[in-house]
Amino acid sequence: MDLDVDGKRVFAYTGGRRFDPGLPCVVFVHGAEIDHFVWLLQSRYLAHHGYAVLAVDLPGHGRSEGPPLARIEAIADWLPALLDAARIERAHLVGHSMGSLAVLECAARHPGRVASIALLGAAFPMRVSQELLDATRVDEPAAHDMINIWSHGAYAHYPSNPGPGFWVIGENLRLMQRQRPGVLHVDFAACNDYAGGLEAAARVRCPALVLVARRDAMTPGRAAQALIQAVQGARVVEIAASGHAMMAEKPDEVLDALRAFLAQAGAAG
Amino acid sequence: MAAPKYLHLDTLSLHAGQLPDPTTGARAVPIFQSTSFVFRDTDHAAALFNMERAGHVYSRISNPTNAVLEERMAALEGGVGAIATASGQAALHLAIVTLMGAGGHIVASRALYGGSHNLLAYTLPRFGIETTFVAPRELDAWRAAIRPGTRLLFGETLGNPGLDVLDVPAVAEIAHAHKLPLLVDSTFTTPYLMRPFDLGADLVFHSATKFLCGHGTAVAGVLVDGGTFDWEAAGRFPELTEPYAGFHGMDFQEESTIAAFLLRARREGLRDFGACMSPTTAWIVLQGVETLPLRMQRHVDNTRKVVEFLAAHPAVAAVSYPELPEHPDHALAQRLLPRGCGAVFSFEIKGGRPAGRRFIETLRVFSHLANVGDAKSLVIHPATTTHFRMDDAALAAAGIGPGTVRLSIGLEAPEDLIDDLAAALRASQKA
C-alpha cells in the first residue's frame, strides 16, 4: 500500500493482505540498493499468520519517492514517521544489512516505538572497502557485480526464492539494477559513515535477535561480534551455508528464526 | 580482497542450480519421478499453496529435477529464472498467453520455424490474438507494424531456415521505445553463442529438444525471463500489474519487483494449460546442458569445415551461412555471434527438386528427418516438411527455395561428413 510519510509517497508491501493496524506490526527494512522484494516470503508468511506487515521501500528505493536518506540516523528517525502514517504505535523492526543499522539506531532513539529488533547481516563498523565505495560512485555496474558475488554463498538454492525455477544470483543483480542511479553510493556511504553502532547497541532495551550467515562475505560473522556483545541479551542464530543474502538463500531458516523470536518477543512485550 | 568473479559458462553448465543431494549425497542430479511431495504439516501445506514458503507441491507446477534445469538455464542466459515446458512450442505459447488475451497483437519476424509460424498465423487468431509478420532486417517494418494492441515483438536469433541474424539490439530498442518486450527464440544459438539478455532482449525461449538436449532424445522447452522489463512502467500488462482473482488477488508486480512474469506464468499458464516437462525429460536435457559448451564448439568447428567444402563445390549454387561474406547479415553476425553462427544452415543444390531428392537419398552418414541440433548430422528438405503449410510466396518470403536443403551438422569426424556430402553431390548431378 502507499503511505504518505513526510509529504512523500512511500510504498510498503503488506504481505498480500489488507493492512490491519490492530494486529502486532512487523516492519521489514531492506538493505542498500534493493527494495521490499527481498522479504517476499517472510513478510507474506507473517502477514497470513497474525501480523500486520510493512515491507517498506525506503525513500528513493523501489516504488517510494526519493531522495534516499543519506545517514543511518535519518532512516532511524524516518521509521517512526512511517509508523505514524500507518497508525502504528509500536512495531517489531526487522532489518537487513543497512536496514539492520537503521533498526538498531531506531531502537536506541525511539524505544517507545520499537517492540523488538531483528538484525540480519549486521556488522559494526560496516566499513565498505575503498575499491567498492569508489565503484558505487563512478561505476555502478562494477559495484553491482562485486556486491552480487560477495552476497551469495552458493550457486544453487533449494527450494530457491521466491520459488522453484528462480536463479537467486540473477534476481539480486536485476533488483539492484532496477534502483535509481545514485542510490547505491548514498546507501553505501551511509553504512560506511555510521559511527554510533556500539552506543546505540548499549541503549537497546527491547528483545533483540541477530542472524549471522556463516558464509557472509559482505558482513562476516566476526564483524557482528561487537554488536552482539553490546546488545543486552541478544539472541544469536547462525544460518548455515548462506551468504549475506540469507533471506533469498535460506528463506525457510530465516523465517523460522523470525517466527520463534517474534512469538517470544510478543509474549514478553 | 581478490577481485570478485562470476563462474564461467562452462562451470555454470555443470553446477548452477544443483548441490549434492542433501539426503543421499548423490552428486549427479537425481530424477525426482514423483507427482507430488509430502507436506510437513497443515501449516506447511497452506504456506506452500499460498506462496508464503517456497517448495514443491505437484509436478505440473514444479519439480526438483525440473528446478535444476530451470535455474541452470537462467544462470546460463543471465536471467532471473526459467520455466521448463513440454516442448519449445509450449514455451512460446506460455510466453504469449502470460502477456495477452483476445485482442492482443504480436509483431513477429517472418523468418520463423514453421511450427511457430503455424501457431501465430493460424491457431492464435482463433483465440483473438493476431500477428503481423515483418522481414526481420527491415527495422522500419517492425516500427510500422506496432499498433495500440501490440503486446510483444518476437523473432529468432537465427531465423529458420535462412539464418537471418536478428538484430537483437536494434529490435529491442524499437520494442522498448514503444514500452514493449522483445521475446527471442534462441534455439539455434544457445547461450554458448549468444546471450540475448546482454543484447537487450527481455524474454528468451528454447526448443530444448535441439542443442540443449543435444542428442535427439527428448522433446522439451524452456522459457527464461531476463527480469529487465518494467511491466508497470509499460502500463499495458494488467495480467502482471493488477490483482489476479485466480491467485488470491495477487498483484504479481507489486509482490515481486523483478519476478512478476515468471510467477504469473507458473501460477496461471503452467497450472492451467498444463504443458509441463516430465522430470525424466529434465534430467535428459540436463545431461546435454552439462556438455553444451564442448558440443557447441565442436558443432561450430565442424560446420565451418562443411560450409567451406560446400561453398567451393561445383554442384552447389549457394550456401547460406552468416560467416560467409556474401550472407546479407555477415557484418551483423560478426558483431553479435563472434563464437560462431551455429550448426544449422541451408544450401541450394543445382538441379532443383530432382537433384535434391537424389542428394538426400544418397547420403549415408546424414539422417533424413525433421529435427536439428542432434549430436548426429541431419538433413531435410524444408519445402516438403517443416514449411509444407506455406505457399510458394510465403516460402520465398522466408528465404526458402524448392531446391533448398537444410543441414544440421553433428559431432562426427568432419572428414566423414564431407566424404558423405561429396558422394551425394556427385549422385545428385547424374541425370
- pLDDT of residue B247 exceeding 60, the answer is yes
Enumerate domains of chain B plus CATH numbers: 9-288 (3.40.640.10), 292-428 (3.90.1150.10)
- pLDDT of residue A48 exceeding 60, the answer is yes
Q: With an 8 Å Cβ cutoff, are A48 and B258 in contact?
A: no
A58 in Cβ contact with A29 (< 8 Å): yes
Q: How far apart are CA B207 and CA B114, in angstroms?
A: 13
Confidence of residue B381 (pLDDT cuts 50, 70, 90): confident
Q: With an 8 Å Cβ cutoff, are A167 and B79 in contact?
A: yes
Chain B CB contacts of A145 under 8 Å are 4, 6
Confidence of residue B418 (pLDDT cuts 50, 70, 90): very high
Q: What is the pLDDT of residues A183-229, one digit of tens each?
A: 999 999 999 999 999 999 999 999 999 999 999 999 998 999 999 99
A33 in Cβ contact with A183 (< 8 Å): yes
Domain extent listing, chain A:
2-268
Q: What is the pLDDT of residues B368-380, one digit of tens each?
A: 998 899 999 999 9
Who has greater pLDDT, B123 or B358?
B123
Q: With an 8 Å Cβ cutoff, are B56 and A157 in contact?
A: no
Q: Give the ipTM.
A: 0.96
Confidence at residue B401, expressed as pLDDT on a 0 to 100 scale: 80
- pLDDT of residue B354 exceeding 90, the answer is no
- pLDDT of residue A89 exceeding 80, the answer is yes
C-alpha cell read off for B254: 507489486
A38 interface with B at CB cutoff 8 Å? no
Q: With an 8 Å Cβ cutoff, are A165 and B66 in contact?
A: yes
A222 interface with B at CB cutoff 8 Å? no
Chain B CB contacts of A255 under 8 Å are 53
B199 in Cβ contact with B172 (< 8 Å): yes
- pLDDT of residue B3 exceeding 80, the answer is no
Confidence of residue B162 (pLDDT cuts 50, 70, 90): confident
Q: How far apart are CA B63 and CA B84, in angstroms?
A: 10
Chain B CB contacts of A155 under 8 Å are 7, 12, 15-17, 75
Q: Residue B336: left if φ>0, alpha if ψ -120 to 50, beta else—which one?
A: alpha
Q: With an 8 Å Cβ cutoff, are A170 and B74 in contact?
A: yes
Chain B CB contacts of A154 under 8 Å are 19
Chain A CB contacts of B256 under 8 Å are 37, 40, 162
Q: What is the pLDDT of residues B200-239, one digit of tens each?
A: 999 999 999 999 999 999 999 999 999 999 999 999 999 9
Who has greater pLDDT, B331 or B2?
B331
CA distance A113 to chain B (A): 27
DSSP A93-129: EEEETHHHHHHHHHHHH-GGGEEEEEEES--SS----
Q: Which of A16, A150, A160 is the closest to B67 by Cβ?
A: A160
Confidence of residue B398 (pLDDT cuts 50, 70, 90): low
Q: With an 8 Å Cβ cutoff, are B258 and A159 in contact?
A: no
CA distance B52 to chain A (A): 5
Chain A CB contacts of B47 under 8 Å are 45, 48
Q: With an 8 Å Cβ cutoff, are B262 and A166 in contact?
A: yes
Q: Which of A94, A167, A112, A93 is nearest to B225 (CA)?
A: A167
Q: With an 8 Å Cβ cutoff, are B62 and A177 in contact?
A: no
Residues 6+ apart with CB under 8 A from B320: B162, B163, B327, B345, B346, B347, B348, B399
**Chain A stretch 63-92, residues whose beta carbon is closer than 8 A to a beta carbon of chain B:** none
Chain B CB contacts of A169 under 8 Å are 75
Q: With an 8 Å Cβ cutoff, are B52 and A13 in contact?
A: no
- pLDDT of residue A247 exceeding 80, the answer is yes
A97 in Cβ contact with A219 (< 8 Å): yes
Q: What is the pLDDT of residues B48-83, one digit of tens each?
A: 999 999 999 999 999 999 999 999 999 999 999 999
Query: Minimal Cα distance from B22: which residue of A?
Result: A158
Q: How far apart are CA B97 and CA B275, in angstroms?
A: 12
Query: Minimal Cα distance from A12: which residue of B?
Result: B254
Who has greater pLDDT, A188 or B431?
A188
Q: How far apart are CA B101 and CA B127, in angstroms?
A: 8
Chain B CB contacts of A129 under 8 Å are 1
Chain A CB contacts of B14 under 8 Å are none
Confidence at residue B382, expressed as pLDDT on a 0 to 100 scale: 75
Confidence at residue A266, expressed as pLDDT on a 0 to 100 scale: 80
- pLDDT of residue B257 exceeding 70, the answer is yes
Percent of chain B clearing pLDDT 90 (strictly above): 87
Q: How far apart are CA B311 and CA B345, in angstroms?
A: 12
CA distance B123 to chain A (A): 29
Average pLDDT, chain B: 94
The mean pLDDT value for B241-249 works out to 93
B265 in Cβ contact with B98 (< 8 Å): yes
Confidence of residue A123 (pLDDT cuts 50, 70, 90): very high
As a three-state string, the secondary structure of chain B is CCCCCCCCHHHHHHHCCCCCCCCCCCCCCCCCCCCECCCCCHHHHHHHHCCCCCCCCECCCCCHHHHHHHHHHHHHHCCCEEEEECCHHHHHHHHHHHHCCCCCEEEEECCCCHHHHHHHHHHHHHHCCEEEEECCCCHHHHHHHCCCCEEEEEEECECCCCCCECCHHHHHHHHHHCCCCEEEECCCCHHHHCCHHHHCCCEEEEECCCCCCCCCCCCCEEEEECCCCCHHHHCCCHHHHCCEHHHCCECHHHHCCCCHHHHHHHHHHHHHHCCECCHHHHHHHHHHHHCHHHHHHHHHHHHHHHHHHHHCCCCEEEEECCCCCCCCCHHHHHHHCCCCCCCEEEEEECCHHHHHHHHHHHCCCCEECCCCCCCCCEEECHHHCCCCCCCHHHHHHCCCCCCEEEEECCCCCHHHHHHHHHHHHHHHCCC
Q: Which of B172, B203, B200 is nearest to B97 (CA)?
A: B203
Classify residue B361 by burial, with Cβ atoms within 10 Å: 0-12, 13-18, 19+: exposed
Instruction: Give which of A128, A149, A166 to mutate to test B binding, by max B Cβ within 10 Å.
Output: A166
A169 interface with B at CB cutoff 8 Å? yes
Q: How many CB pairs under 8 A join A and B?
A: 148
Domain A2-268 coded CATH 3.40.50.1820 = yes
The mean pLDDT value for A44-67 works out to 97
- pLDDT of residue A269 exceeding 60, the answer is no
Confidence of residue B356 (pLDDT cuts 50, 70, 90): confident
Percent of chain A clearing pLDDT 90 (strictly above): 94
A133 interface with B at CB cutoff 8 Å? no
- How far is CA B364 from each of CA B32, B80, B417, B423, rounded to the nearest angstrom? 39, 44, 9, 9
The mean pLDDT value for A32-41 works out to 97
Q: What is the pLDDT of residues A168-189, one digit of tens each?
A: 999 999 999 999 999 999 999 9
Instruction: Give which of A155, A215, A254 to mutate to test B binding, by max B Cβ within 10 Å.
Output: A155
Q: With an 8 Å Cβ cutoff, are B255 and A178 in contact?
A: no
CA distance A171 to chain B (A): 5
Q: What is the pLDDT of residues B188-206, one digit of tens each?
A: 999 999 999 999 999 999 9
